[in-house]
Amino acid sequence: SQTIHQWPATLVQPVGSPLSLECTVEGTSNPNLYWYRQAAGRGLQLLFYSVGIGQISSEVPQNLSASRPQDRQFILSSKKLLLSDSGFYLCAWNPMSSYEQYFGPGTRLTVT
Amino acid sequence: GQNIDQPTEMTATEGAIVQINCTYQTSGFNGLFWYQQHAGEAPTFLSYNVLDGLEEKGRFSSFLSRSKGYSYLLLKELQMKDSASYLCAVRVLRAGNNRKLIWGLGTSLAVNP
């Protein structure tokens, strides 16, 4: 069966510090991968998606970046965090043959 | 533009039936999803509709009318554990055959004993 992992589960970082969130998927190959952010009182905002290794599409201009160094690994990064980067970060995947997206457990980021 | 509307909050009683509505104005419609999200947790998939009509899955059913830009999620025999946020999402087709999910803000359902 397929499993999606995210870490860390929670993170408190000062403004201006770097960020690295990792997501891995097990039990499948060549998944589509997504990074979302859910801020308090707001809907899910798609940040990046990837259809393959090294292929990243950005949805919203911001100080975040994403990379996909391996087929089942997706990384979200920032060089300098802003207060507005606080939120619940969710990684999701869907197999090429399926419609629904499956979400990882999420990382709750608080920027202080 | 792309827009999805859902009620912000709803309240219902244990054992009852509740209907959560979702209206959308999008271009390139390619399916509608319902997800359940408990507080502090990730969303989990509930249902998918791409054709008009009702899809039933246990206590949950989802309906779609593409001509009206309307869907609803029907929850029967409500249980306390159904207290959660219910997210409506529309998949749209974009240039280059890319697909994207547009998400509503969610409906927070409180089930009371």
CB pairs under 8 A between A and B: 40
A27-57 pLDDT tens trace: 888 899 999 999 877 789 999 999 899 999 8
Residues of B in contact with A106 (CB under 8 A): 41-42
Instruction: Give residue A91's pLDDT band: very low, low, confident or very high (50, 70, 90).
Output: very high
The answer to whether B103 contacts A43, with C-beta atoms less than 8 Å apart, is yes
Query: Closest Cα of chain B to A88: distance in Å?
Result: 9
% of residues, chain A, pLDDT over 90: 74
- Inter-CA distances, A31 with A25, A75, A99, B42, B110, Å: 8, 14, 12, 19, 35
* Closest chain A residue to B37, measured at CA: A103
Among the residue ranges A12-16, B24-28, B34-38, B61-65, the one predicted with the least confidence is: B24-28
The answer to whether A100 contacts B44, with C-beta atoms less than 8 Å apart, is no
When the pLDDT of each residue in chain B is averaged and rounded to a whole number, the result is: 94
- Smallest CA-to-CA distance from B94 within B1, B27, B23, B4 is with B27
CB-based contact, A61 to chain B, within 8 Å: no
Reported in sequence order, the residue ranges of chain A that DSSP labels E, i.e. its strands, are: 3-7, 10-13, 19-26, 32-38, 44-52, 55-58, 64-70, 73-78, 87-94, 102-103, 107-111
B11-53 pLDDT tens trace: 999 999 999 999 999 988 999 999 999 999 999 999 999 999 9
> Which pLDDT score, from 0 to 100, does residue A43 have?
84
> How big is chain A, counted in residues?
112
A3, A4, A44, A96: best mutation site toward chain B, by most B Cβ within 10 Å? A44
- Could you tell me which residues are beta bridge partners of residue A48? A35, A58
Query: Closest Cα of chain A to B8: distance in Å?
Result: 10
